[in-house]
Structure 1
Amino acid sequence: MTIRRPDRPDRPGHPRRSVLRAGAVTGLGLLAAACARIPTSSPVQQQQVGSGVVQDAPYVQPRLPVQGAAPEEIVLGFVQAGVGPEDDYGVARQYLAPSARSSWDPTAGVTIYPAGMELEVVRTSDVSARLTVQALAQVDARGIRTVLGAPSSREIDMRLEKVDGQWRISSPPDGIFLSQAAFENLFTTARLYFLDPRAAHLVPDHRWFPVQQSAQKLLVQLGAGPSEVLAPAVRSAVPQLTELAEVTLAPGDDNTTQVELPRAIDDLPQSQRDRALAQIQTSLRTLRGLSSVRVSIGGVVVDLSAGDLSRPLPGHRPIGAGTTGIISLADITAGAGAAQLVPALADDVVSSPAIAQSGPLAAALAADGGTLVLASTNGSIPRRDAALGGALVAPRVDDAGYVWTSPVTSAGALLALSGSGSAADARVDAPWLAGRELRALDLSADATRLIVLSADESISRIDLCAVIRDAAGVPTELTSPITLHTELGDVTQVSWYDEIEVLVLGTAAQSGEQQVLVLNLLEGSEMMPAPRPGTLRVAGTAVSEVIWATTEGGALLRTNGTGWSSVDLPARDPSYY
């Protein structure tokens, strides 16, 4: 195993096949009234999309209804036909009564169930049947996926009627049903990039779109806006696009995909136009097969300069708490001392060091664990000791000039201390944390997305939310969080590993052994080398080739993906900036 480089959108390739990890579903009382499996593989073909072409779009042949099919078979065939989006799911509509064919909305969402699971359909009356499916996840009309904590049984009742002597469904549920394998073939991951309030960073929003309409869907959703967890914290310069036909695709002579945008983009004020194009370019390049994109309006290729906008990644410079305060863990060689990074803390015993990725602001916890010390790498910020009372969670520093922490026993708020002085400090309410034990928090490199690890009666929970700021970057509140699920039984530490990945330290649910994994917010998780027993903290980012760790016994360890080795250096609490 090797430590992975960051998942860069400009690199084409199929996503890892771990999009939804779930244990085998057993003990299902399949009544066998009518059971079949959805076909999930067939040759890859080139597909037409509107007036454009999508390369390598997978194709699975749906089946037309057969003469004389029973109601159970019609319901099952309708579900199976969800694999065929051609002609606006024309085959699936053949299973519907004429009154339902025009009203059924297949784009309303996707219910995903385990691959290999047989579907149960039971006739409940002369004119009705019930479909039972074990749902793993839901994808809504906007492409937002919700992974369920455990498979959830869903029962869907459908009414049928005779049409020219053949059974047809008169009350179909909106949306489609796909096995996990079929979903991974027919849908692709995407990242929609939105603007932070300072228009300094592009912030990713995670989506899943049908492969055959991925670019069109992406552009429409950029105009529609971000998901709920990000909505109050980011904005879009892309105007609302109501029709998929406003976007056309055509392969260029140099294998670069040309995307023709509607003239509404060109009519925007210059600054908004530049930002909209930056959003569009960066988002399109995350799609499978669209790593090289040329954008045109009215047939004229436009400049896709992102200006001052950045797509920041986690830091690559390792640090730790040593005998001279905050020290560098980079370029450590036998017998060489570690470089001291924060002069004001050179004589202090500190823990949990943190430094801003851009700017000199630094912070650490004092020896008592309840005092937060703010300083700087260049002496430009006066040292400040903030006694906040009680044990504090390890601080993190954002690029807007704030140090984030909280008492371990949460009062329903996080503290953001300003590097410019106490008058600018902010108390950011988080009522969903009230009474919980805070174990860790970390801000993404875009200073917008926040992960918080907390526990209640020893049951750990990872929450993802966004920081709402004003135009100057001052934090005012947090959005309502969503919960991230892992296969670990108890989690003790989390930190951002990449733009859409989180490094997690915890224990296995069954064995109780410590494990380290990288949780991808789109595609699942990947195990890293097993940590040494008693590991307290791990630190790593995808832009670095090394993961660091410290143990209860004070050992400093590192790995490049092939096992852990000891580092002869008196340091602890590794981190990156």
Structure 2
Amino acid sequence: MTPTPRPALRVPRRAPGAARRRTVASALALVLPALWVLSACVAMPTSGPVEVGDGEVSDAGPAVVPLADRPALDADPQGIVVGFLKASQAGFSRDPRRGGDFRAAREYLAGDARAAWKPRESVVVYPTTSSPTFTVVNESQVQVTLTVAARIDADGRYAEAATDAEESLTFDLVQDSSDQWRIAGLEDGVVLDESNFENLFSSASLYFLTPDDTDLVPETRWFPVRNIATSIVRELLEGPSPWLRDSVRSAIPEGVELKPETVPVDESDSTASVGLTEAAALTDAAERARMLAQIEASLAIPGVRAVEVTAGGVPLTASATDLRHGVDTDAVLEVVSGDTVVQLTNGELVPLLEPPDLGGRAVHDLARNERGNVRVARSDAGDLVRVGVGDAPTETILSGPGLLAPSVDRLSWTWTAYPGPAGLLVAVRADGQRADISAPWLAGRSVTAIRVSRDGARVAVLSTGSDGLALDVAGVVRDASGSPLQLGEPLGAGATLVDATELVWVDDATLGVLGRSGVATSAAYHLVPLSGQTRALPALEDAVAIAGGKGQRSLYVATSDGRLFWLPGVNASWSEVATGVRDPYFPG
């Protein structure tokens, strides 16, 4: 229920010390969770009419869904609002008998509101541990106040809310010709508690192409589980969000539509059938292969094992195309041990075949590209140095003072930033070629960390300003040669973070941050999805550096006394794997 658009889904900055509004909670608020009963085991529908805009999808198992009741006879205004909120949650159910399609919810609405209400316009998610409070403003108006965990817009874009975020919803009621109260005035959208949201919605990655057609770049969206394959393809055809639009492209020709307007999934063999209009066939073989790769990667969801695509009813086929996406499973963690660089292999520190020559210089915050032929570090003076390998010398390529820890992209550009409120980002190549990166939204902010994604299409930036800490991700706009020019408008992430010092990419849609949040009072490794809830991992005393890049089963933390810890999974415990080391890093 977010009537005011949020450009590029930028998460609002937190106001320090913002106080929560207080309302008088009615007795019903205490029992609201009990009213929203969940069915323990329900059968998946296997037949029924196909409606416009819907296409059934099988998934890993039956979802637990809320139950919806019709309005109780002679219910008072508050009872009508409570019943409506419950029934509107059930509207995302697969089963119309349980309130799917919002039929039951609309029975609580009066006159024009019944037809005008747009439930899919937005979703406000509130914590399961927090109950909404109700205030009876007057005989015909009820106000509902709830803590907000996240907001999802009509296109599935997810924005995590700050720890202290709240929202108030006002419902205006009238009595009908039978003296029954009904809701005549309300905002579009639905409210869901986190447990129901997790049961009724699922995340999916829409994949687009880097401009040089080497990588698939994901944009995570959240869709109702019901008809999720249809939602995915519809949004893929619409293209990327504004924050990413100038940094990627799509091989799907503009104007291509779904025909028919559904993506059914055959229950016998889990094949998703994507029908596109004739324009999809008007591409050459290479572009057709990239288009099919986008569609197939985007439909890699539970319940779909194969994808068939037609254009104007004619099957589309193409030779396989070599597009990268996901993590680099062959990436090796490197650390500094003494005065040399070593790698961690099978839990052992192993010398590199060609160890970088640190040249007797005191360097830290090492970084490298995936091939290992570009290696950089930061000197104690704050200069950026190229670390020599073999006969190449170690030399300064960008003078400080105080340059930030570097990050190397796949096109061999090293990214860093100067300290201070100017928000000046710089990229430099090993030969000294320099590019000053335009990012007007960083004006007046001090950048504290920067990290480029593996695909080179996105940059994550930590910054501080008068309104506190911000973690943003922006698309990289490059020229035809691949030189970075500017950053697009940012996507806010990690809204619950309150301070942070280290930043890495854990995978292609998740950041790792060393810092504190509303759920972790001491410094901890946080997993921050670009579209999802921040999660604090178990804290480690004296943690000073983190590493990530191979997914959530390869997370590392270094402590100030030279110990290296590994976390083999988000539900595991930290395990010490090495001592006498510092500066752990993966490529990037």
TM-score normalised according to structure 1 size: 0.83
In structure 1, how many angstroms separate the alpha carbons of the residues matched to 2:519 and 2:128?
24
Aligned to 2:16: none
Specify which of 401, 405, 415 is matched with residue 416 of structure 2. 405
SS in 1 for 2:463: strand
Closer/same/farther in 2, CA of residues 486 and 52 from structure 1, 3 Å limit? closer
Residue by residue over 1:407-447, the C-alpha shift from the partner in whole angstroms, topping out at 9 and shown as x without a partner, is 2335222101023x33x421002344345443321111111
SS in 2 for 1:226: coil
1:397 Cα offset (Å): 0.4
1:288 Cα offset (Å): 3.4
Aligned to 2:429: 418
In structure 2, how many angstroms separate the alpha carbons of the residues matched to 1:64 and 1:221?
33
8 Å CA contact 1:316–1:543 kept in 2: the answer is no
Work out whether 1:233 is the aligned partner of 2:229: no
Specify which of 39, 42, 45 is matched with residue 43 of structure 2. 45
Q: Give the AA of the match of 2:85.
A: V
In structure 1, how many angstroms separate the alpha carbons of the residues matched to 2:241 and 2:263?
25
Aligned to 1:514: 523
1:350 Cα offset (Å): 2.3
In structure 2, how many angstroms separate the alpha carbons of the residues matched to 1:258 and 1:29?
50
1:281 Cα offset (Å): 0.7
SS in 1 for 2:274: strand
Aligned to 1:7: none
Residue by residue over 1:98-137, the C-alpha shift from the partner in whole angstroms, topping out at 9 and shown as x without a partner, is 3233222112111222326444444444544433333322
Specify which of 270, 286, 295 is matched with residue 280 of structure 1. 295
In structure 2, how many angstroms separate the alpha carbons of the residues matched to 1:98 and 1:133?
27
Work out whether 1:468 is the aligned partner of 2:471: no
In structure 1, how many angstroms separate the alpha carbons of the residues matched to 2:267 and 2:279?
21
Closer/same/farther in 2, CA of residues 220 and 408 from structure 1, 3 Å limit? same
1:557 Cα offset (Å): 1.8
Aligned to 2:565: 558
In structure 1, how many angstroms separate the alpha carbons of the residues matched to 2:73 and 2:549?
58
8 Å CA contact 2:205–2:219 kept in 1: the answer is yes
Specify which of 374, 394, 402 is matched with residue 386 of structure 2. 374
Closer/same/farther in 2, CA of residues 436 and 129 from structure 1, 3 Å limit? closer
8 Å CA contact 1:413–1:431 kept in 2: the answer is no
8 Å CA contact 1:413–1:428 kept in 2: the answer is yes
Aligned to 1:267: 281
Aligned to 2:91: 84
8 Å CA contact 1:327–1:340 kept in 2: the answer is no
Closer/same/farther in 2, CA of residues 124 and 264 from structure 1, 3 Å limit? farther
8 Å CA contact 1:494–1:504 kept in 2: the answer is yes
Specify which of 330, 353, 367 is matched with residue 354 of structure 1. 367
In structure 2, how many angstroms separate the alpha carbons of the residues matched to 1:136 and 1:252?
35
Aligned to 2:15: none
Aligned to 1:386: 397
Work out whether 1:98 is the aligned partner of 2:106: no
Residue by residue over 1:170-199, the C-alpha shift from the partner in whole angstroms, topping out at 9 and shown as x without a partner, is 333211222222211111111111122222
In structure 1, how many angstroms separate the alpha carbons of the residues matched to 2:354 and 2:478?
33
8 Å CA contact 1:278–1:305 kept in 2: the answer is no
In structure 1, how many angstroms separate the alpha carbons of the residues matched to 2:165 and 2:66?
25
SS in 2 for 1:153: strand
Closer/same/farther in 2, CA of residues 378 and 100 from structure 1, 3 Å limit? farther
SS in 2 for 1:101: helix
Closer/same/farther in 2, CA of residues 89 and 252 from structure 1, 3 Å limit? closer
Residue by residue over 1:309-339, the C-alpha shift from the partner in whole angstroms, topping out at 9 and shown as x without a partner, is 21142562112345555443446758x6555
8 Å CA contact 1:95–1:168 kept in 2: the answer is yes
Closer/same/farther in 2, CA of residues 84 and 175 from structure 1, 3 Å limit? same
SS in 2 for 1:54: coil
8 Å CA contact 1:328–1:340 kept in 2: the answer is no
8 Å CA contact 1:220–1:244 kept in 2: the answer is no
In structure 1, how many angstroms separate the alpha carbons of the residues matched to 2:554 and 2:288?
40
TM-score normalised according to structure 2 size: 0.82
Aligned to 1:107: 120
1:371 Cα offset (Å): 1.9
Specify which of 185, 202, 207 is matched with residue 216 of structure 2. 202
Aligned to 2:266: 251
In structure 1, how many angstroms separate the alpha carbons of the residues matched to 2:224 and 2:513?
30
Closer/same/farther in 2, CA of residues 426 and 247 from structure 1, 3 Å limit? same
SS in 1 for 2:289: helix
8 Å CA contact 2:566–2:577 kept in 1: the answer is no
1:164 Cα offset (Å): 4.5
1:154 Cα offset (Å): 1.4
8 Å CA contact 1:46–1:53 kept in 2: the answer is no
8 Å CA contact 1:225–1:236 kept in 2: the answer is yes
**Which structure 2 residue ranges, 5 or more long, are not aligned?**
1-19
Work out whether 1:182 is the aligned partner of 2:196: yes
Higher mean displacement: 346-355 or 143-152: 346-355
Aligned to 1:31: 26
Residue by residue over 1:493-539, the C-alpha shift from the partner in whole angstroms, topping out at 9 and shown as x without a partner, is 111111222222224669853322323334434444532x3332121
SS in 1 for 2:199: helix
Please report the RMSD computed on the Cα atoms of aligned residues, expressed in angstroms. 3.3
In structure 2, how many angstroms separate the alpha carbons of the residues matched to 1:517 and 1:132?
29
- Give the paired residue count: 541
Residue by residue over 1:232-258, the C-alpha shift from the partner in whole angstroms, topping out at 9 and shown as x without a partner, is 2222233456669523313254x3333
1:392 Cα offset (Å): 1.2
Aligned to 1:498: 507
In structure 1, how many angstroms separate the alpha carbons of the residues matched to 2:298 and 2:242?
19
8 Å CA contact 1:265–1:273 kept in 2: the answer is no
Aligned to 2:57: 54
In structure 2, how many angstroms separate the alpha carbons of the residues matched to 1:559 and 1:350?
24
8 Å CA contact 2:56–2:227 kept in 1: the answer is no
Higher mean displacement: 78-87 or 198-207: 78-87
SS in 2 for 1:75: helix
Closer/same/farther in 2, CA of residues 258 and 337 from structure 1, 3 Å limit? closer
Closer/same/farther in 2, CA of residues 205 and 377 from structure 1, 3 Å limit? farther
**Which structure 1 residue ranges, 5 or more long, are not aligned?**
1-24
